[in-house]
């Protein structure tokens, strides 16, 4: 089996700043001034992928910058040559940037065919949980979550798709927060439901896809304003039936972590697949392959700006 993983495409879309409200304006200015020219090779990326052989394609969020409808429209147009029955997508925090993008399901409406089947989670009052997530004046004022996590603000998104006899599970770790705050939170019921589904699944093995890292290398730790706050407890929940691999993005530099007793699954970060590398951002994308001896291995492709091509390179592996 060959799984191709790309992430954090952040397609550069020009928007009229006068049509943007406060948070989007800050986010758009940040994108326009700091990052616009660093995400250039999207057409080359799509063309490269079109010519590769793979069984499944994972896109782990941050397709847009400020969740503007025009960004979703353009992203879909750019990605259309590689969107098919092998594609599995989840949203990133930039695809859940505004209240409207959440209440009106911009991401779901744009990419419904590629998100898998929606799994319902029983909570006493799901609407209450949804509303609490998107209307929290205290939170907006404070700019941060309290130390004791309030899971009413976390999404109950859980989706599943079987591709080439492998189960792919999609999570949404994103929260509606003020600009420049990109922390995540995963509802524990989502992790628990994932295990319930997998305990009854004939496939047995599964791949998890979520935008926020569940682990970072020591030299690339994240601040509280960037990380998934309850990731350690999610690892503990997963330990009873871990995925083969956890695919994510969010922090824009590649890595692969091999399983160990603390984190008993591969962790693969392919962000950002459209960014030009520099000393702090090792960009590219990964293949995650199972060979005929049933062993998993990774291959990494990086963009060579001299010949404008993606080329096979060394993976950045932590074991
Ligand atoms: Fe990103
Ligand atoms: Fe992100």
Number of compact structural domains in the chain? 1
Q: Which ligand is closest to the CA of 225, given by its number?
A: 2
Strands 255-257 and 206-209, by their bridges, are: unpaired
Report the alpha-carbon distance of residue 86 to residue 172 in Å, rounded: 20
The answer to pTM > 0.95 is no
Q: What is the CA(199)–ligand 1 centre distance, in A? A: 32
Give the domain range for residue 238: 2-318
Q: Which ligand is closest to the CA of 226, given by its number?
A: 2
Q: What is the CA(182)–ligand 1 centre distance, in A? A: 10
Going residue by residue through the chain, which has 319 residues, state the pLDDT in tens, using 9 for 90 and above.
Answer: 999 999 999 998 877 877 777 777 777 777 877 777 776 778 899 999 999 999 999 999 999 999 999 999 999 999 999 999 999 999 999 999 999 999 999 999 999 999 999 999 987 665 555 545 544 444 445 454 444 567 778 899 999 999 999 999 999 999 988 878 899 999 989 999 999 999 998 878 999 999 999 999 999 999 988 999 899 989 999 999 999 999 999 999 999 999 999 999 999 999 999 998 888 899 999 999 999 999 999 999 999 989 999 999 999 999 9
Q: Which ligand is closest to the CA of 272, given by its number?
A: 1
**The token pair that represents 78 in the structure block:** 């750019």
pLDDT on residue 36: 73
Q: Which ligand is closest to the CA of 64, given by its number?
A: 1
Any idea what the CATH number is for the domain that residue 309 is in? 3.60.21.10
pLDDT on residue 130: 52
Q: What is the CA(280)–ligand 1 centre distance, in A? A: 14
Q: Which ligand is closest to the CA of 7, given by its number?
A: 1
Q: What is the CA(177)–ligand 2 centre distance, in A? A: 13
Q: Which ligand is closest to the CA of 6, given by its number?
A: 1
Q: What is the CA(248)–ligand 2 centre distance, in A? A: 9
pLDDT on residue 125: 61
Q: What is the CA(295)–ligand 2 centre distance, in A? A: 30
Q: What is the CA(295)–ligand 1 centre distance, in A? A: 30
Q: What is the CA(10)–ligand 1 centre distance, in A? A: 7
Q: Which ligand is closest to the CA of 35, given by its number?
A: 1
Q: Which ligand is closest to the CA of 177, given by its number?
A: 2
Nearest to 114 by CA among 69, 153, 63, 70: 63
Q: What is the CA(204)–ligand 1 centre distance, in A? A: 31
pLDDT on residue 146: 47
Answer yes or no: are the C-beta atoms of 266 and 248 closer than 8 Å.
no
pLDDT on residue 26: 78
Q: What is the CA(202)–ligand 1 centre distance, in A? A: 34
Q: What is the CA(60)–ligand 1 centre distance, in A? A: 10
Nearest to 133 by CA among 90, 96, 170, 160: 96
pLDDT on residue 35: 72
């Amino acid at each position: 089996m060959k799984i191709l993983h790309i992430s954090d495409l952040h397609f550069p879309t020009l928007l009229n700043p006068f049509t943007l409200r406060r948070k989007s304006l800050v986010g758009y200015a940040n994108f326009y001034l700091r990052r616009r020219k660093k995400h250039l090779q999207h057409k080359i990326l799509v063309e490269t992928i079109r010519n590769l052989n793979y069984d499944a394609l994972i896109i782990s969020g941050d397709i847009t910058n400020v969740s503007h409808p025009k960004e979703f429209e353009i992203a879909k147009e750019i990605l259309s040559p590689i969107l098919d029955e092998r594609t599995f997508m989840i949203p990133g925090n930039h695809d859940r940037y505004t209240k409207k993008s959440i209440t009106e399901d911009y991401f779901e409406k744009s990419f419904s065919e590629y998100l898998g089947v929606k799994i319902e989670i029983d909570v006493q009052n799901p609407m209450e949980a949804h509303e609490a997530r998107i209307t929290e004046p205290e939170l907006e004022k404070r700019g941060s979550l309290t130390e004791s996590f309030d899971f009413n603000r976390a999404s109950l998104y859980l989706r599943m798709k079987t591709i080439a006899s492998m189960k792919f599970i999609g999570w949404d770790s994103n929260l509606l927060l003020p600009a420049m705050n990109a922390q995540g939170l995963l509802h524990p019921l989502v992790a628990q439901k994932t295990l319930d589904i997998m305990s009854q699944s004939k496939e047995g093995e599964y791949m998890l896809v979520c935008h926020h890292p569940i682990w970072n290398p020591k030299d690339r730790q994240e601040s509280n304003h960037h990380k998934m706050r309850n990731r350690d407890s999610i690892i503990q929940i997963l330990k009873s039936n871990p995925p083969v691999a956890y695919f994510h993005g969010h922090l824009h530099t590649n890595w692969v972590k091999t399983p160990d007793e603390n984190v008993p699954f591969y962790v693969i970060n392919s962000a950002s697949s459209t960014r030009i590398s520099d000393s702090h951002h090792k960009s590219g994308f990964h293949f995650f392959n199972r060979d005929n001896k049933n062993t998993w291995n990774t291959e990494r492709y990086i963009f060579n700006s001299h010949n404008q091509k993606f080329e096979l390179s060394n993976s950045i592996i932590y074991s």
